[in-house]
Structure 1
Amino acid sequence: MNLSFFDQFTSPSILGIPLILLSLLFPALLIPSPNNRWITNRLSTLQTWLLHLITKQLMIPLDKKSHKWALILTSLMMLLLIINLLGLLPYTFTPTTQLSMNMALAFPLWLATLLTGLRNQPSISLAHLLPEGTPTPLIPALIMIETTSLLIRPLALGVRLTANLTAGHLLIQLISTAAITLLPIMPPISILTTSILLLLTILEVAVAMIQAYVFVLLLSLYLQENT
């Protein structure tokens, strides 16, 4: 019974063909494409407003030289946001619960920010490994600690997103299973459990949006350090 709780995190497949690429591409089909009309519908207007708001929030702390990353960061934000929210629907699969996918997103983008800093300002980027005014005996230890913290950043990005979404999905399934089990035995307790499940679902919607924002925000902060 406990193993069945983790079946929702198994990549779906048909005839041995994995469908994770389809689950990644399907959310993009839900985004309405802009048209050339002067007056657009409410959905396109809301989408444009949301994109402008996200881009503004991400680009405010960055220099003008880093604004070329706006398209990448905003697109990543919308991808993670839609995938996380669609994963809360019944009979769906959430690709962001897979650590391999999150690491595939986090590692190349983190490496790109690091290489950007080493190319444009190598002295300043390397200076982050050693705080100013460090005593001479502590220099080797601090360099090792700062290097480790730098290299662990993509792992922290991927694990944070995976752990939060996986824990939320498991908790929802556990409480829903308890509500169904208690319904014929103790209906009042089952109704109370269902109300808790509703509140937890609302919380998970907020977590799905916050984790997508945090993932992209941390990448923008890493970019700010290297520009």
Structure 2
Amino acid sequence: MTTCSASAPDKNASGDNFYGASICNQTYIDYFWNTYGFAGNKEYWDDGFGWDDSCNTDLPLARTFNACYALTYSAENWQNDDYAGAMLNWARRYVREHIKNLRAKCGNGGAIAASFGGGLVELYLGCWFGKDVPGRVETLVHESRHEGGKPHNANFPAGSVFGSGGGADTTWAYEGAWMYGALYLWWYFAQGARTTSALRERARQRGNLVIDNAFATHPGFSI
């Protein structure tokens, strides 16, 4: 596997120091590895990606584990992941049911992640070093929604920070990958537990960025 690297930005601002204080526990490491698609993919998480240094939040594996911790435990009553409840509860269930092979790659500097069907999702450098912890959860949820059968179906609106051309969703009601990601961030902001007020605010800001830029027809509201 190709080795690549990037510098970790401010880990206080990104939440990596906050969550990193919790993930360095073999019980959590084993749970995340066996639950969220890492198992069987060691070859994609070594060679500098962190397999042999899984508590080091400068590296992709620990930064992904931070996202897995937030995904799993951000609901106050996190054990209840019934789909009839809030997305903050069932997002972890949705991800584990749809991502079966989670792989780390360098990427080409464009996309931060990609899904390929059959439960295969790749994460790239931009996911770990361009997004904070709740933003990485958004990415896992987003790609899971693609794996759940929802491709993008529209062009980005004029002036979108995500560029032009295809890659957007038509509307909020389409319930596509952008909607799922933004909805998760909304719940994290509104009711997130085991987090900080600063990270909740960052989730709100990211959610509004998605709402304003990723739908052909603006949803008509903000978080």
TM range (shorter): under 0.3
TM-score normalized with structure 1 length: 0.27
Greater fraction strand: 2
TM-score normalized with structure 2 length: 0.27
Greater fraction helix: 1
Question: Larger Rg: 1 or 2?
Answer: 1
